[in-house]
Amino acid sequence: MTTQDTKVEKEAAKLSRRDFLGLLGKGAACAGAVAGAGAALASAGGANKLGGVGPTYQQEDAQYAEARKNPPKIPNYNWTEHKWAFGVDTNRCIGCLRCVEACKMENSVQMDRNHTRTWVERYTYLEGSDHAHVDSIHDIKNVMPGSKETRFVFDNRYKDAKVTKSFFVPKLCNQCEKPSCVQVCPTGATYKTPDGPVLIDSKYCIGCQYCVQACPYGARSLNHERGTAEKCNWCYHRITKGLNPACVEVCPTGTRIFGDRTDPESPISQFIRNNRVNVLKPDMGNMPNVFYAGIDKEVL
Amino acid sequence: MHKHIVRLLTLIAVVAVVAFSARYLARQDTFYQYGHYRGASVAEIASKLPKHQGSATCQTCHKEIYAEWSSGIHQKATKNNAIQGVVIKSGPGCEVCHTPAGNHPSKEAMPLSVEDRVTTITYARKGLHPANVPDRSLMREPADMRILCTNCHEKIPGRPVRGAVAGTSVPVQAVTDVVGIHGVPQVVVEGHGGAELCTTCHNPHSPRINFASVPRSPVDPKTGKALPVSAEKPGDAAAGKTVAAMCAGCHGEAGVSVNPEWPNLAGQHTNYLSDSIKAFKTGARKNDMMGPMAAGLSDADMRNVAAYFAKANCSVPGGDKAKAELGKAKAAAAGCAACHSSGGLRGNGVSGVSGAQAWPNLAGQNAAYLTIALKAFQDGSRNHAVMTSVAKTLSASDIDNLAAYYASASCK
């Protein structure tokens, strides 16, 4: 069905490495810190495949049992009963950028073009050229002149050129099954939840930006006002209340699709079933949870 | 054992004790509860309040506008959106243009109209909330509002095209300049409405053209009752009669002109009349007679005299019957009815009687004057975003026929 499923590898628990790391940790001077990181590294293979059943990334069985027994106190919501996923039908995207502005307002992201949780890229093939010209809202030309970078609109820059093919690709955090950003976080400020999203605990984030570098998709940035990392979390405060993420809520064309993969009739389950979908950079092994329909191989 | 080794071991021991005690004493209780992170943070993140409340929330108070939106194409698009079995909600909701509701109305006001949104953006840096901005309908420039429409409807490469796989250059069967897939029409702005605002012809809540209802008369969002068009006092017809005395020489005492080359004023829309006089005064419209006449009139005089002539009884001057028949067909083909029929393009209205106060009635007008007006739009001596482009599509005989048709149309 998807590249992700074929890529699942059952990694045998490497007990010897775990023991070795544990011993090393206890023996070293900064015993506490290293022991924690070592244990986290060692359990990296236990990612659950689908459906919120079983421990998530870097979660031990006992901790997963605790997650089922004493879930976080969120009213009318149990995080082990859901497995959220996101779909992007690029055939429908018109590049209106309402999602970008909605996200910024919903999540109080800085309003300039450099800080984004979600963004839209445009791939354009001109006549006689074999590669795509790519631009996104990070380009100053796609910010309304005189608007103090609060309003975004794709500039009609190919008006006089001969365009053979052009399309828009919305991008956001892929909420990977094996998130590189979580693996490198030195303080445990970012983590993978059993229901899907990778969250940031901004109280524990020290703003070292190691995660920004680790993410293969460029989905993370530093919020320069707060001094902590910034990323899309599928509007965790909305989906736990039964709402759609803000970008899905405002999308006027139905490009963005969101739902619960444990429910076979949810929009996302139908989208994955009825379309040929792909994920970005499957060879990185991160196992993304954002599924794309209608993208070229040039889109990464 | 050597002293320096003892010192080293002691140092290691001390650091180890500090590290272990830090791990067990200074650690948050919920750390490691679910994994290598603070378990309590999950509920903290989830407890944030949503700012986008959804269009259904707006319905509770803004019933009229909600009904307008939900019966129109901006919402209907959502119903016919099945792709390979998946029905996906789409079509812009309230908050796409009006910005998120947040705590509105309990704690904070929200931008109530599109104009307010522009104000918010303009004033945001000065720390002013839209509710505290003195002139709330202030727009930095009229074109600012158009960006809300062109965000989706401007034709640019990359937007999916009807009749083609998205993103490819498969030929488009363009009936008009409006193309798009999934009902997202796209226009080349310059050739579509020129400098005119989108809202002149389209109701943003239900933009498929029904000119009978546009420009939408302002409605109180809560009660659904009509509001006065502007804060200005409506004209007083009785007071206008004294002003009208100076017009009577050319336009007749009752608004029926003595010369067929001069327009009849009887029964014309008040707004169109006062707008025209104002345009002569400012020089936006030029006429050797009307310029000096209008120069001496105050705003109140203009409204009064407009009200006086609007109330006068119109008459049908009549025109060549054969030409009128041809003109009728041309009027349908050229789309005149879109603005100059009370029913708009799709409704059954009175032909020649305009749907909006700002546009002139053509019924009851002299054929000779109509011809002069159309030719003036054609040669550029009179300017209007829509009329200039329409007039340029007409031949001399078209103009004659159209003038005859509207001159013989019933003006009641």
Tens-digit pLDDT profile for residues A183-239: 999 999 999 999 999 999 999 999 999 999 999 999 999 998 889 999 999 999 999
Report d(CA B334, CA B323) in Å as an integer. Answer: 16
Report d(CA A190, CA A202) in Å as an integer. Answer: 9
Within a domain: A33: no
Report d(CA B118, CA B142) in Å as an integer. Answer: 10
Q: State mean pLDDT over A76-85.
A: 92
Report d(CA A141, CA B336) in Å as an integer. Answer: 39
- Cβ atoms of A204 and B39 within 8 Å: the answer is no
Q: State mean pLDDT over B217-242.
A: 62
pLDDT at B185 over 90: no
pLDDT at B323 over 60: yes
What residues contact A9, with CB distance under 8 A and at least 6 apart?
A: none
- Cβ atoms of B337 and B232 within 8 Å: the answer is no
A203 touches chain B (CB under 8 A): yes
What residues contact B187, with CB distance under 8 A and at least 6 apart?
A: B153, B154, B155, B177, B178, B193
Give the strand pairing for A290-293 and A84-89.
Answer: parallel
Identify which of A144, A238, A251 has the shortest CB distance to residue B147: A144
A63 touches chain B (CB under 8 A): yes
Name the band, by pLDDT with cuts 50, 70 and 90, for residue A53.
Answer: low
Give the model's pLDDT for residue B120: 46
What residues contact B98, with CB distance under 8 A and at least 6 apart?
A: B110, B111, B112, B113, B114, B117
pLDDT at B215 over 60: no
Identify which of A31, A165, A270 has the shortest CB distance to residue B85: A270
Within a domain: A289: yes
**B157 and A249: CB-CB below 8 Å?**
no
**A106 and B88: CB-CB below 8 Å?**
no
Give the strand pairing for A119-126 and A277-278.
Answer: unpaired
Tens-digit pLDDT profile for residues B22-77: 888 887 788 999 999 999 999 999 998 888 888 888 888 888 888 888 877 787 65
Name the band, by pLDDT with cuts 50, 70 and 90, for residue B103.
Answer: low
- CB contacts of B125 in chain A (<8 Å) are 148
Structure tokens at A112: 């300039």
B125 touches chain A (CB under 8 A): yes
B40 touches chain A (CB under 8 A): yes
A49 touches chain B (CB under 8 A): no
Name the band, by pLDDT with cuts 50, 70 and 90, for residue A16.
Answer: low
What residues contact B17, with CB distance under 8 A and at least 6 apart?
A: none
Q: List the single range of A57-66, B219-228, B313-322 with lowest mean pLDDT.
A: B219-228
- Cβ atoms of B308 and B244 within 8 Å: the answer is yes
Within a domain: A7: no
Tens-digit pLDDT profile for residues A97-136: 989 988 988 888 887 888 899 999 999 999 988 889 999 9
Q: State mean pLDDT over B267-273.
A: 88
- Mean pLDDT of all residues in chain B? 75
Burial B186-195 (b: 16+ CB within 10 A, else e): bbebeebbee
Is the alpha carbon torsion for B307, B309, B312, B317 positive or negative?
Answer: negative
Mark out the alpha helices in B213-360 (DSSP H runs): 237-244, 248-251, 270-282, 290-295, 299-311, 321-334, 337-340
Q: State mean pLDDT over B348-375.
A: 85
- Mean pLDDT of all residues in chain A? 82
Neighbours of B112 (CB within 10 A): 17
The rounded percent of chain A whose pLDDT value lies above 70 is 80
Identify which of A32, A154, A252 has the shortest CB distance to residue B91: A252
The rounded percent of chain B whose pLDDT value lies above 70 is 69
Number of CB pairs, chain A paired with chain B, less than 8 A apart: 218
pLDDT at B287 over 60: yes
Within a domain: A41: no
Burial B64-75 (b: 16+ CB within 10 A, else e): bbbebbbebebb
DSSP SS3 for A22: helix
Report d(CA B177, CA B163) in Å as an integer. Answer: 14
The rounded percent of chain B whose pLDDT value lies above 90 is 17
Give the model's pLDDT for residue B168: 39
Q: State mean pLDDT over B383-410.
A: 85
B43 or B144, higher pLDDT: B43
B314 or A219, higher pLDDT: A219
Q: Which amino acid, residue B200?
A: T
Within a domain: A174: yes
Query: What would you measure as the largest C-alpha separation in chain A, in angstroms?
Result: 68
- Chain-centroid distance of CA A212 in Å reads 12
Name the band, by pLDDT with cuts 50, 70 and 90, for residue B135.
Answer: very low
B156 touches chain A (CB under 8 A): yes
Q: Which residue of B has its CA nearest to A162?
A: B157
Those of residues 14-43 in A touching chain B at CB distance below 8 A are 29-33, 36, 39-40
pLDDT at A245 over 90: yes
Report d(CA B75, CA B64) in Å as an integer. Answer: 15
Those of residues 276-335 in B touching chain A at CB distance below 8 A are none
ipTM topping 0.85: no
**B36 and A188: CB-CB below 8 Å?**
yes
Within a domain: A20: no
Give the model's pLDDT for residue A30: 47
Within a domain: A287: yes
Structure tokens at A270: 């139908």
B369 or B59, higher pLDDT: B369
Mark out the alpha helices in B219-320 (DSSP H runs): 237-244, 248-251, 270-282, 290-295, 299-311
B387 touches chain A (CB under 8 A): no
- CB contacts of B12 in chain A (<8 Å) are 29
What residues contact B311, with CB distance under 8 A and at least 6 apart?
A: B237
Report d(CA A223, CA A109) in Å as an integer. Answer: 8
Name the band, by pLDDT with cuts 50, 70 and 90, for residue B6.
Answer: very high
pLDDT at B304 over 60: yes
B181 touches chain A (CB under 8 A): yes
Please give the residue range of the domain that contains residue A116: 67-299
pLDDT at B385 over 70: no
Structure tokens at A43: 């359990």
Of the candidates B27, B25, B26, the one whose C-alpha atom is nearest the C-alpha of residue B40 is B27
Q: Which residues pair with B107 in a beta bridge?
A: none
Q: Which helix (H) or strand (E) holds A89?
A: strand A84-89
Report d(CA B180, CA B160) in Å as an integer. Answer: 6
Give the model's pLDDT for residue B88: 53
Report d(CA A261, CA A51) in Å as an integer. Answer: 7
**B35 and A201: CB-CB below 8 Å?**
no
Give the model's pLDDT for residue B39: 93
Identify which of A124, A192, A267 has the shortest CB distance to residue B158: A124
CATH number at residue A141: 3.30.70.20
Tens-digit pLDDT profile for residues B245-261: 889 888 988 899 888 89
Q: Which amino acid, residue B225?
A: K
A72 touches chain B (CB under 8 A): yes
**A201 and B45: CB-CB below 8 Å?**
yes
B196 or A185, higher pLDDT: A185
Within a domain: A28: no
Give the model's pLDDT for residue B75: 76
Give the model's pLDDT for residue B133: 37
Give the model's pLDDT for residue B380: 85
Mark out the alpha helices in B26-113 (DSSP H runs): 40-46, 55-59, 63-70, 73-76, 94-98
Most A CBs within 10 A among B27, B36, B154, hence the mutation to make, goes to: B36
Q: What are phi and psi of A135, to 5 degrees?
A: -140, 160
Structure tokens at B163: 């009749």
Give the model's pLDDT for residue B162: 53
- CB contacts of A153 in chain B (<8 Å) are 147, 150-151
- Cβ atoms of B73 and B207 within 8 Å: the answer is yes
Number of structural domains (chain A) is 1
